[in-house]
Amino acid sequence: MTATTDNAAVTAKVLAGDWTGTLNYRDYRDDTCETLPTLIQSDGAMLAWTFDDGPGKTVRSSEAWSFDASGQTLTITSGRNVPDQWRVVESHTSADGDSVTIVLNGESLENGRTVNARKILTRDGNRLLITKQTRVAGEPFLMRQS
């Protein structure tokens, strides 16, 4: 894999499309893992999520992803929440362009406390994986959402 220099363009290309899969997440309250059927529609900058959260309960949310001029800082805005800032720490694309991995570091709020966070965006052919890991300083990263 080679280093990627235009993170904004690569990320937009990676995200664009209609995706069907699952959301796996670790519940904040009791630390159990849950899985929900999920649809994502993306134009590369906006992600529209649809989750099946049980009989008759459909949850929708959206996120806007935008990079600063340097292409090194990603801002993710979701609803009325304070925008999340992520810093690109790794970015690789395979020689044929079919595989891309972008690793971002930032902070997140969990149960009222700030934790270290890592977001890993992977596109391998027709597979898309967005994983968020979190940790308290000094502890190992744990999967929060994938």
Read off the pLDDT of residues 56-115 as tens digits, 9 standing for 90 and up. 899 999 999 999 999 999 999 998 888 999 999 999 999 998 899 999 999 998 888 899
Long-range contacts of 128-132 (CB under 8 A, 24+ apart): 128/14, 128/15, 128/17, 128/19, 128/21, 128/40, 132/108
The residue that leads in pLDDT, 30 or 72, is: 72
Would you give the end-to-end CA distance of the chain in angstroms? 23
* pTM of the complete model beyond 0.95: no
Q: How far apart are CA 117 and CA 130, in angstroms?
A: 13
Task: Give me the pLDDT at residue 56, please.
Answer: 86
CATH of domain 2-145: 2.40.128.20
Among 57, 119, 56, 52, which residue's Cα sits nearest to residue 85? 119
Q: How far apart are CA 16 and CA 128, in angstroms?
A: 10
The pLDDT-based confidence of 5 (bands split at 50, 70, 90) is low
Whether the CB-CB separation of 101 and 90 falls below 8 Å is answered with yes
Q: How far apart are CA 42 and CA 19, in angstroms?
A: 8
Percent of the chain clearing pLDDT 70 (strictly above)? 97
